[in-house]
Amino acid sequence: MQGGRSQGRATEYRFAFAGLRHSHIFSLIERVSAHPACQIVAAWEADDTARAAAERVCGLPFEYSDFDTLLSESGCNVVAIGDTYARRGALAIRALKAGCHVIADKPLCTSLEELGEISSLARAGGLSVGCMLDLTEAPAIRGLREIIRDGKIGSVQTVTILAQHPLLYGQRAGWYFAGDQHGGTVNDIGVHVFDLLPWLTGSAWERMISVREWNAKAKEAPHFCDCAQMYGTLENGVSCFADLSYLAPDRCGYSLAQYWRLTVHGTSGMAEASYGAKTLSLATDSDEEIQRVALTEIPASGRNYLQNFLDEISAKDQTCEGALSTEDILKTTRLVLQAQQIASEKNEDSHS
């Protein structure tokens, strides 16, 4: 991976990367580096160890010792943020105040107060806010949406999401388990759920019925709630349950079907997809056995978090149904932060 692949040609989007504390951000570096209209002009990381590691991996131009100098001198018009979760909101606010568009790894921020300021600055300045919400780009998840939207299982009534992650204590970055840097498992993993459900079912989120976080496996960090579940409904009455816990086995957790498995039941059948699977499961009332649906003919989706972000900046007509917008991301972030607040307040009450 090398930054600035676009050097020598006119580029519309000049990216500066701020904070490289989570490995997710490296996939954005790859996308930006490969995009013909983008150029990486600068990078900044405050932590010496993290900066040295990032330099070895991606070769970005770390020329600035502080973030404000990067904003004022690099010539960037887009800031991409991958710092610790608790630091992202403040960085986004400073970038927006400097007149830059912002795209961040998820979660965008960890407090409703930060989100309020981000929203106000983006709207007042006509600036775009993007987020690396890429679960909807997976072929199996896109295939599940096609089945639902084609009416093959009738009217959707329930969605069950298993999003089990391996904890990897001692292997994950230490800041994950620091008391003030993570911001909550609901916000961390659940943001995908709030983004996914309207896109999948065609109905907006209505209300949270129950949400809970607790500590189970990460005994070395008792404040870290590594288990989380939530239950709620969509506007059309669909009932949704999600398990967002870090209980998957450490060594093989990412390869299990329960790492993002979506089971959807309708009035005339059910369909199921797992992230990374090669087929979908489909069974209707007329089937005597489960159908295995290949993904080879799944049409391309209008969902591409980077391209949607760039198209919005350039005011291109968003003709792709389901394309992510700034308003989508702000709404999704507000919903998940509200759910996180409920879970956190319950924990505080139980310990008081």
* Last-in-domain residue among 116, 131, 146: 131
Determine the residue type at 224: F
CATH number at residue 278: 3.30.360.10
Nearest-5° Cα angle at 308, 333 to 313: 95
Is residue 323 domain-resident? no
CATH number at residue 80: 3.40.50.720
Helix extents (H) in 274-325: 305-313
What is the pLDDT at residue 318?
55
Is residue 330 domain-resident? no
Q: Do the Cβ atoms of 162 and 135 come closer than 8 Å?
A: no
What is the pLDDT at residue 319?
56
Q: Are residues 89 and 161 in the same domain?
A: no
Q: Do the Cβ atoms of 301 and 321 come closer than 8 Å?
A: no
Q: Are residues 111 and 146 in the same domain?
A: no
Question: Any residues with CB less than 8 A from the CB of 201 and at least 6 apart, and which?
Answer: 148, 156, 159, 234, 236, 238
| DSSP helix, strand, coil percent of the chain (3-state; round to 5) | 35, 25, 40
CB atoms inside a 10 Å sphere around CB 231: 13
Residue entry with tokens 């409703």: 112
Is residue 271 domain-resident? yes
Is residue 312 domain-resident? no
What is the pLDDT at residue 349?
79
Partners of 283 in the beta sheet? 270
pTM for the whole structure = 0.94
Determine the residue type at 130: G
* Last-in-domain residue among 286, 301, 316: 301
Q: Do the Cβ atoms of 144 and 342 come closer than 8 Å?
A: no
Is residue 263 domain-resident? yes
Checking phi first, is residue 323 left (phi over 0); if not, alpha (psi -120 to 50) or beta? beta
Partners of 140 in the beta sheet? none
What is the pLDDT at residue 49?
92
Per-residue burial over 321-349, b = 16 or more CB atoms within 10 Å of its CB, e = otherwise: ebbbbbebbbbbbebbbebbbbbbeebee
Is residue 113 domain-resident? yes
Q: What is the largest CA-CA distance in the chain?
A: 66
Q: Which range marks the domain in which residue 145 is found?
A: 135-301
Structure tokens at 252: 């093989």
Is residue 328 domain-resident? no
Low-confidence spans in the chain with pLDDT less than 50? 1-9
Q: Are residues 194 and 223 in the same domain?
A: yes
What is the pLDDT at residue 1?
40
Half-sphere exposure of 259 (CA within 13 A, CB side): 17
Instruction: For strands 78-82 and 13-20, give the pairing.
Output: parallel
Q: Are residues 154 and 98 in the same domain?
A: no
**DSSP-based three-state secondary structure for 230:** strand
Q: Are residues 156 and 272 in the same domain?
A: yes
Q: Are residues 173 and 281 in the same domain?
A: yes
Q: What is the DSSP string of 55-81?
A: HHHH------SSHHHHHHHS--SEEEE
Q: Do the Cβ atoms of 75 and 63 come closer than 8 Å?
A: no
Is residue 334 domain-resident? no
- What digits encode the pLDDT tens for the residues 270-310? 999 999 999 999 999 999 999 999 987 677 778 999 999 99
* Last-in-domain residue among 87, 108, 131: 131
The number of folded domains in the chain is 2
Tell me if the bond preceding 36 is cis, omega within 30° of 0. no
Partners of 139 in the beta sheet? none
- What digits encode the pLDDT tens for the residues 212-257? 999 999 999 999 999 999 999 999 999 999 999 999 999 999 999 9
What is the pLDDT at residue 317?
58
What is the pLDDT at residue 8?
38
Q: Are residues 99 and 215 in the same domain?
A: no
Q: Are residues 51 and 88 in the same domain?
A: yes
